[in-house]
């Protein structure tokens, strides 16, 4: 058990087989009837038990996060692959094999706490490392750039993407007027919008997403040498995505799709793994790029600045209590350890204020660091005192520095003994409200992203843009957005104009660049695996060899569920779902091993087949179903007749070459 788990154990309470008491420890003899005058009479104020129970309930909610309200989290461990002391003095990166407990919270950005998981959105990927030198938080997203360049614009951006204030519609969607109005009028968002329209915005699971620190930080080694650094998480299972029609349907069929996937896989021992990588730029190379390395709307193409892998994170334990851990965890980009420092990236500078500030309202005061999930595993001492919910009982008369009563303790520690020292950057300038000219090119990397996409990804982006902008009611905004896209690609803009019913763009020349970065494409870098993919076998009384099929799939680490027309036992297997309680959109592939005699069940089966086909997922026919009323072409890619060929098709994932599919 690691240090964090040991610490959390002290706070855990198992209430089973315990007598019921009030919060004051008084045993309670009755918990179903309030104290009244006569069994049909009024309740009386004297009923302290009722009042305590009701008051606690009335105060159970805290404000949800202003962004990233919807999320889920897990514990894990980070293991360092190599001594990275040449680039950073961070102790948790100093030794091969060194292990550090972590807690990770994944999230969507725009939706409320109860919104669906599979909406088109950026995903948060926040990691708390409980290091021996204090907590280090890497507060990342699954896209490497951001919508705005300066933190002062963050509230405007968030107001635009959130539900519109007059009617609070739409929930967890960017497909509405205020979002696209913001984008058209704040064109620094152009690059991020391309990522937002791409398949990155509809991940298959939290286990199959990359993470990016986005902002430019600094690594500093013991000799005081610094590098600019960008952080990356790379999932071992590769990056996998949904298709849009499927994502929308999952939002209804299982709004907890990503939360459930993470929880179930950790319970089953399929621990998600991500490698931590860094891109490094030496201080002296700061100005050697055709973009400003402090601009958070720019990537450092991996082909130009390679990613150096430092270690691996494994998520291996679910939380015991969602509120105590997942809801109360408080991340902050300013939680750093010696060896990790900041750059002057203007988005990062503003974030350094916002995160503590938001915890004060959300967690109700300055003592949120004492909540079990937020406590460092190393000792912490200072002269801060009091405040709501203070738990520590600081003893003695001294709560100030400097002092003689306590030999000037707690006292500062020199950098050579681990005291944090800010990187001594020389800064010289005029106080201005302005943005550097070097931040003004909003389209070159947006076009680079577009040019780096495969044809299928391009098709998805056009479809996504047509959907999103098509939902914008105001024609002038649709027109403005089309004009903006023309700077990225004229054909893309013209196609969009056609689809959303506005004039073709006036701009006839996009920004000039032929640069590509193959690393940003998902489909150019596929990872072929069957590991922990989820498959449904549709069975009935006529299905043969159920146990053999199940075993063959499980041998490939595939998760299997049996589905039938009703809850029943087929060859000793209790089916997991009926065709009504499950849905084809919840699986990575379907094996059809049932015929179903009655017309209703056959038509439900055809719905399963049709949807799986339309979403380009593997489909095996172990029996020959009647496909009347479907557009399924049995000869198409990924439509197979044996379990073995199904496994191969599943390893590949989506089969895009299906001319009839309409997903
Ligand atoms: Fe932020 C939450 C990631 C820009 C202000 N942010 C939050 C979370 C993630 C990110 C993953 C959820 C943490 C959790 O699970 O509890 N944010 C980012 C990234 C950004 C970014 C990668 C771009 C580089 N954020 C950003 C800016 C500001 C904020 C520019 C404000 C100036 N973010 C916040 C916040 C939140 C937050 C308001 C809401 C809840 C919280 O902090 O704890 O402070």
The rounded Å distance from CA 67 to ligand 1 centre is 7
At 390 the pLDDT is 97
Q: Is the CB of 107 under 6 A from ligand 1?
A: yes
Give the end-to-end CA distance of the chain in Å, rounded to a whole number: 46
Q: How far apart are CA 131 and CA 109, in angstroms?
A: 27
Length of the chain counted residue by residue: 663
The rounded Å distance from CA 353 to ligand 1 centre is 11
Q: How far apart are CA 376 and CA 366, in angstroms?
A: 15
At 302 the pLDDT is 98
Structure tokens at 518: 């193959």
At 158 the pLDDT is 98
At 626 the pLDDT is 81
The rounded Å distance from CA 68 to ligand 1 centre is 7
Q: Is the CB of 68 under 6 A from ligand 1?
A: yes
The rounded Å distance from CA 335 to ligand 1 centre is 13
Quick: pLDDT tens for 153-163: 999 999 999 99
Name the residue with tokens 């201080």: 283
Q: How far apart are CA 395 and CA 353, in angstroms?
A: 31
Is residue 28 pLDDT above 90, yes or no?
Answer: yes
Please choose from 62, 65, 364 the residue to mutate so as to test ligand 1's pocket, defined by most ligand atoms within 8 A of CB. 65
Q: How far apart are CA 133 and CA 377, in angstroms?
A: 9
362 labeled binding residue: yes
Q: Is the CB of 332 under 6 A from ligand 1?
A: no
Quick: pLDDT tens for 263-320: 999 999 999 999 999 999 999 999 999 999 999 999 999 999 999 999 999 999 999 9
Domain 71-374 top-level CATH class: mainly beta
* 3-state helix/strand/coil string of 83-148: CCCCCCCCHHHCCCCCEEEEEEEEEECCCCCCCCCCCCCCEEEEEEEEECCEEEEEEEECCCCCCC
Residues of the chain with pLDDT > 90, as a percent, come to 97
Please choose from 73, 355, 373 the residue to mutate so as to test ligand 1's pocket, defined by most ligand atoms within 8 A of CB. 355
Q: How far apart are CA 119 and CA 127, in angstroms?
A: 22
The rounded Å distance from CA 432 to ligand 1 centre is 26
Cα-Cα-Cα-Cα dihedral sign, residues 327, 330, 333, 337: negative
At 321 the pLDDT is 98
Residue 591 in contact with residue 538, Cβ under 8 Å?
yes
Please choose from 124, 196, 233 the residue to mutate so as to test ligand 1's pocket, defined by most ligand atoms within 8 A of CB. 124
Q: How far apart are CA 461 and CA 459, in angstroms?
A: 5
- Contact residues for 358 (Cβ-Cβ < 8 A; gap 6+): 65, 66
Quick: pLDDT tens for 218-241: 999 999 999 999 999 999 999 999
351 labeled binding residue: yes
Q: Is the CB of 126 under 6 A from ligand 1?
A: yes
Give, using CA atoms, the residue closest to atom 12 of ligand 1.
Answer: 68
Nearest residue to 150 (alpha-carbon basis) of 288, 425, 353, 422: 353
The rounded Å distance from CA 355 to ligand 1 centre is 7
**Burial (Cβ within 10 Å: 0-12, 13-18, ≥19) of residue 278:** buried
Structure tokens at 136: 């280090």
| Three-class SS state of 340 | strand
Residue 496 in contact with residue 482, Cβ under 8 Å?
yes
Alpha-helical runs (H) found in 10-112: 48-58
Q: What DSSP line would sit under 561-602, residue for residue?
A: EEEESSS-EETTEEPSEETTTS-GGGSSEEEEE---SSHHHH
* Burial profile 601-638: b = 16 or more Cβ within 10 angstroms, e = fewer: bbebbbebbbbbbbbbbbbbbbeebebeebebeeebbb
Q: Is the CB of 617 under 6 A from ligand 1?
A: no
Neighbours of 284 (CB within 10 A): 7
- Contact residues for 599 (Cβ-Cβ < 8 A; gap 6+): none
Q: How far apart are CA 329 and CA 331, in angstroms?
A: 7
Residues marked as catalytic: 68, 141
- Nearest ligand 1 atom to the CA of 124 is 11
- Nearest ligand 1 atom to the CA of 215 is 24
DSSP 296: T
Q: How far apart are CA 205 and CA 315, in angstroms?
A: 14
Q: How far apart are CA 609 and CA 614, in angstroms?
A: 9
Quick: pLDDT tens for 55-69: 999 999 999 999 999
Please name the helix (run of DSSP H) or strand (run of DSSP E) that holds residue 467, with its range, or none.
helix 455-470
At 561 the pLDDT is 98
Please choose from 70, 139, 213 the residue to mutate so as to test ligand 1's pocket, defined by most ligand atoms within 8 A of CB. 139
Q: Is the CB of 141 under 6 A from ligand 1?
A: yes
Q: Are strands 534-539 and 559-564 parallel, antiparallel or unpaired?
A: parallel
123 labeled binding residue: no
Is residue 663 pLDDT above 80, yes or no?
Answer: no
Beta bridge partners of 547: none
Is residue 174 pLDDT above 90, yes or no?
Answer: yes
At 145 the pLDDT is 98
Cα-Cα-Cα-Cα dihedral sign, residues 327, 331, 337, 340: positive
Neighbours of 327 (CB within 10 A): 21
State the average pLDDT over residues 543-571.
Answer: 96
Q: How do the domains of the chain map onto residue ranges?
A: 71-374, 450-520, 534-652
Residue 122 in contact with residue 142, Cβ under 8 Å?
yes
Is residue 627 pLDDT above 90, yes or no?
Answer: no
Q: How far apart are CA 9 and CA 493, in angstroms?
A: 57
Q: Is the CB of 297 under 6 A from ligand 1?
A: no
ipTM for the predicted complex comes to 0.98
Q: Considering the chain, what is the average pLDDT of its residues?
A: 97
Q: How far apart are CA 408 and CA 401, in angstroms?
A: 7
Structure tokens at 438: 């070097």
The rounded Å distance from CA 171 to ligand 1 centre is 19
Residue 93 in contact with residue 309, Cβ under 8 Å?
no
Q: Is the CB of 214 under 6 A from ligand 1?
A: yes
154 labeled binding residue: yes
Residues of the chain with pLDDT > 70, as a percent, come to 100
Name the residue with tokens 């974030």: 351
- The shares of helix, strand and coil residues in the chain, as percent rounded to the nearest 5, are 30, 15, 50
Residue 331 in contact with residue 105, Cβ under 8 Å?
yes
Residue 489 in contact with residue 444, Cβ under 8 Å?
no
Quick: pLDDT tens for 635-651: 999 999 999 999 999 99
- Nearest ligand 1 atom to the CA of 354 is 44
At 595 the pLDDT is 86
Q: Is the CB of 146 under 6 A from ligand 1?
A: yes
Nearest residue to 148 (alpha-carbon basis) of 163, 135, 132, 160: 160
308 labeled binding residue: no
Kindly calculate the radius of gyration of the chain based on its CA atoms and give it in whole angstroms: 28
Q: At 111, give phi and psi (nearest 5°).
A: -75, 165
CATH number of 450-520: 1.20.1370.20
DSSP 166: T
Q: Which fold has domain 534-652?
A: Rossmann fold (3.40.50)
Q: Is the CB of 139 under 6 A from ligand 1?
A: yes
At 554 the pLDDT is 97
Q: How far apart are CA 581 and CA 571, in angstroms?
A: 21
Cα-Cα-Cα-Cα dihedral sign, residues 115, 118, 122, 127: positive
Q: Is the CB of 143 under 6 A from ligand 1?
A: no
The rounded Å distance from CA 598 to ligand 1 centre is 53
């Amino acid at each position: 058990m690691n240090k964090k788990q040991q610490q959390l154990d002290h706070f855990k309470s198992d209430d089973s087989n315990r007598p019921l008491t009030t919060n004051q420890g008084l045993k309670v003899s009755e918990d179903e009837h309030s104290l009244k005058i006569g069994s049909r009479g009024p309740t009386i104020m004297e009923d302290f038990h009722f009042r305590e129970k009701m008051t606690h309930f009335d105060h159970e909610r805290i404000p949800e996060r202003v962004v990233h309200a919807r999320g889920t989290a897990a514990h894990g461990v980070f293991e360092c692959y190599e001594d990275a002391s040449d680039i950073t003095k961070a102790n948790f990166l100093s030794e091969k094999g060194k292990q550090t407990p972590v807690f990770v919270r994944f999230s969507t950005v725009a939706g409320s706490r109860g919104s669906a998981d599979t909406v088109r959105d950026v995903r948060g990927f926040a990691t708390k490392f409980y290091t021996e030198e204090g907590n280090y938080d890497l507060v990342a997203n699954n896209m490497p750039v951001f919508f705005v360049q300066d933190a002062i614009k963050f509230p405007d951006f968030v107001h635009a993407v959130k539900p519109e204030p007059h009617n609070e519609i739409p929930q967890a969607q960017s497909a509405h007027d205020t979002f696209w109005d913001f984008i058209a009028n704040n064109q620094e968002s152009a690059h991020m919008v391309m990522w937002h329209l791409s398949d990155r915005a509809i991940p298959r699971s939290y286990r199959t997403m990359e993470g990016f620190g986005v902002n430019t930080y600094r690594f500093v080694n013991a000799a005081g040498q610094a590098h600019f650094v960008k952080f990356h998480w790379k999932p071992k299972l590769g990056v996998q995505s949904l298709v849009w029609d499927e994502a929308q349907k999952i939002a209804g069929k299982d709004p907890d799709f990503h939360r459930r996937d993470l929880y179930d896989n950790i319970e089953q021992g399929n621990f998600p793994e991500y490698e931590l990588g860094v891109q490094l730029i030496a201080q002296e190379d700061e100005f050697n790029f055709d973009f400003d390395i402090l601009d958070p709307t720019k990537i450092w193409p991996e082909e130009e600045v390679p990613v150096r892998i430092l270690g691996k994170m494994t998520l291996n334990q679910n939380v015991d209590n969602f509120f105590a851990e997942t809801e109360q965890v408080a991340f902050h980009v300013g939680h750093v350890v010696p060896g990790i420092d900041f750059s002057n990236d203007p988005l990062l500078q503003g974030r350094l204020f916002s995160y503590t500030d938001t915890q004060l309202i959300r967690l109700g005061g300055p003592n949120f660091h004492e909540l079990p999930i937020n406590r460092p595993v190393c000792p912490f001492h200072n002269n801060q005192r009091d405040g709501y919910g203070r738990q520590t009982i600081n003893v003695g008369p001294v709560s100030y520095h400097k002092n003689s009563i306590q030999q000037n303790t707690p006292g500062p520690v020199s950098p050579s003994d681990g005291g944090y020292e800010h990187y001594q950057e020389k800064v010289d300038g005029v106080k201005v409200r302005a943005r550097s000219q070097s931040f003004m090119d909003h389209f070159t990397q947006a076009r680079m992203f577009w040019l780096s996409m495969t044809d299928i990804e391009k098709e998805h982006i056009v479809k996504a843009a047509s959907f999103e902008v098509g939902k914008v009611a105001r024609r002038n905004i649709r027109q403005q957005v089309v004009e903006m896209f023309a700077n990225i690609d004229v054909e893309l803009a013209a196609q969009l104009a056609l689809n959303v019913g506005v004039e073709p763009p006036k701009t006839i020349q996009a920004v000039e660049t032929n640069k590509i970065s193959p690393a940003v494409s998902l489909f150019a870098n596929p990872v072929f695996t069957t590991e922990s993919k989820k498959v449904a076998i549709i069975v009935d009384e006529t299905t043969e060899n159920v146990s053999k099929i199940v075993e063959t799939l499980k041998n490939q680490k595939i998760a299997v569920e049996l589905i039938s027309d009703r809850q029943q036992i087929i060859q000793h297997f209790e089916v997991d779902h009926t065709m009504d309680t499950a849905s084809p959109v919840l699986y990575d592939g379907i094996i059809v091993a049932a015929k179903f005699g009655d017309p209703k069940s056959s038509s439900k089966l055809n719905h399963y087949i049709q949807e799986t086909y339309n979403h380009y997922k593997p489909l095996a026919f172990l029996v020959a179903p009647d496909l009347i009323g479907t557009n399924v072409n049995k000869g198409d890619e990924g439509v197979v007749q044996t379990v073995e060929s199904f496994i191969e098709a599943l390893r590949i994932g989506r089969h895009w070459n299906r001319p009839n599919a309409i997903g």
